[in-house]
Amino acid sequence: MLHPSKKIFPNVVYFKSMEFCEVTKDLWSYLEGENRPVVIYGTGDGADKIIDELIRRGLESLIKGVFASPGFVREGRVFRNFKVESFEEVTSRLSDFIVLVAFGSPLPDVLRYVYSIEERYELYAPDVPVCGGEVFDMDFAIRNKGRLEKIYERLADEKSRECFKGLVNYKLSGRLEYLRNCEVTPDEEDSLLGPFNENASFIDLGAYRGDTLLRFTEMFPGFSSAAAVEPERHSFKKLAELAEGLPIPVTLVNALISDECGTAMLTNSRGRGTRTAKTDTGREIEKVTVDSLLESRNAGFIKFDVEGSEAVAIEGARKTIREQRPQMKIACYHKSEDLFTIPEKVFAIRDDYRLFMRHTPCIPGWDVDYYFL
């Protein structure tokens, strides 16, 4: 339930020229007409991106505070020259304000807490690209209208079309009900997959600590082998520990998945946000392609979740896709253009896939995947 004073942007009508788009004013344009204070919920990379976007659009004067979740507020903590407050401190000094959620989480307790704030105050979760590039605003949608429409028309079932609509309208408006209305459970999402041949391999690109590897080898015990690629060394260590307990042989590769083999410089940061370094201050790491991993392996299923390099990884899988036509799950939320460039690249290699889209519960619009079956 949204805060009752602002259930929808003023003067919003259906955008007749795009079947899947019902908002005509994006969140950033809406904020340009506001004079109420804005408070940022979160203190990480997402908060930096949202504040930077507000500054870029000349809206920095709206920002009147930053707050964190219970347990993350410490005396003297400052973020972007703002004291990091609790939500209670914000409500004690401001009577009417807009909340912008600036972090990501799929955790049920966190989602419930965000929704509880949304019931009392006007709240949005701005869509800012995880891995940089253009913001998905109305200008972006209009410029890419034809490409978006072509992909929408290729979607194979009504649930995929609902998901696509929800995601586009969420990206433009920042309104969380669009995401909630198109959620499925992980089990519902993964029920799209299978069956697989007896000698099929599971290829996990962006394996992290092995959570997906464990899940899918349990769901599909017929896999004969697996390969898991993870560049971040601390996650790779956990991945290796998990793989030891699996009933099938797993080839572990501490490398970046790419469109060519070679080496690259990697940042020294931990976690899912592993990135290539912009300078030579990182560490050197091997680059591999899907095709090089699968020289003598039958790819039954490939999962791509490689921090914004999905389109590049597809280029490095051209031979495998063309000759083996594996089932594929490809993350499509790291960059604004992922919604159309990812299917475009796959269909340019093979045009006989059925295309599905699914979103599991998460704030903001992360955990969205295309399935090529």
Neighbours of 217 (CB within 10 A): 21
Stretch (H or E) spanning 41: strand 38-41
Edge-to-edge, what's the strand order for the sheet holding 327-331? 250-253, 225-229, 201-205, 299-304, 327-331, 368-372, 355-359
Q: How far apart are the first and last CA of the chain?
A: 36
Token pair 């709206």 is at which residue?
Answer: 62
pLDDT at position 198 is: 80
Q: pLDDT means per 10 residues in the chain (373 residues)?
A: 48 55 93 96 96 97 96 91 96 96 96 96 97 95 95 97 97 97 93 87 95 92 93 95 94 95 77 50 88 86 95 96 96 97 98 98 96 98
Q: pTM of the full predicted structure?
A: 0.91
pLDDT at position 143 is: 95
pLDDT at position 125 is: 98
Residue extent(s) of CATH 3.40.50.20 domains in the chain: 4-180
pLDDT at position 296 is: 72
Residues 6+ apart with CB under 8 A from 23: 9, 12, 15, 169, 172, 173
User: Distance from CA of residue 282 to its chain's centroid?
Assistant: 25
Strand, helix or coil for residue 93: helix
In 60-172, the DSSP E strands lie at 63-67, 78-79, 82-85, 98-101, 122-124
Residue extent(s) of CATH 3.40.50.150 domains in the chain: 187-372
Helix 158-173, helix 338-349: angle, nearest 10:
140
Supply the DSSP symbol for 227.
E
- CATH number of 4-180: 3.30.980.20, 3.40.50.2300, 3.40.50.300, 3.40.50.20? 3.40.50.20
Give which of 296, 301, 341 is closest to 321, Cα–Cα.
Answer: 301
**Do β-strands 201-205 and 299-304 pair in parallel, antiparallel, or remain unpaired?**
parallel
CATH class of 187-372: alpha beta
Q: For 301, phi and psi rounded to 5 degrees?
A: -150, 135
pLDDT at position 82 is: 96
Give which of 59, 169, 183, 38 is closest to 102, Cα–Cα.
Answer: 38
Strand, helix or coil for residue 327: strand
Give which of 244, 41, 28 is closest to 138, Cα–Cα.
Answer: 28
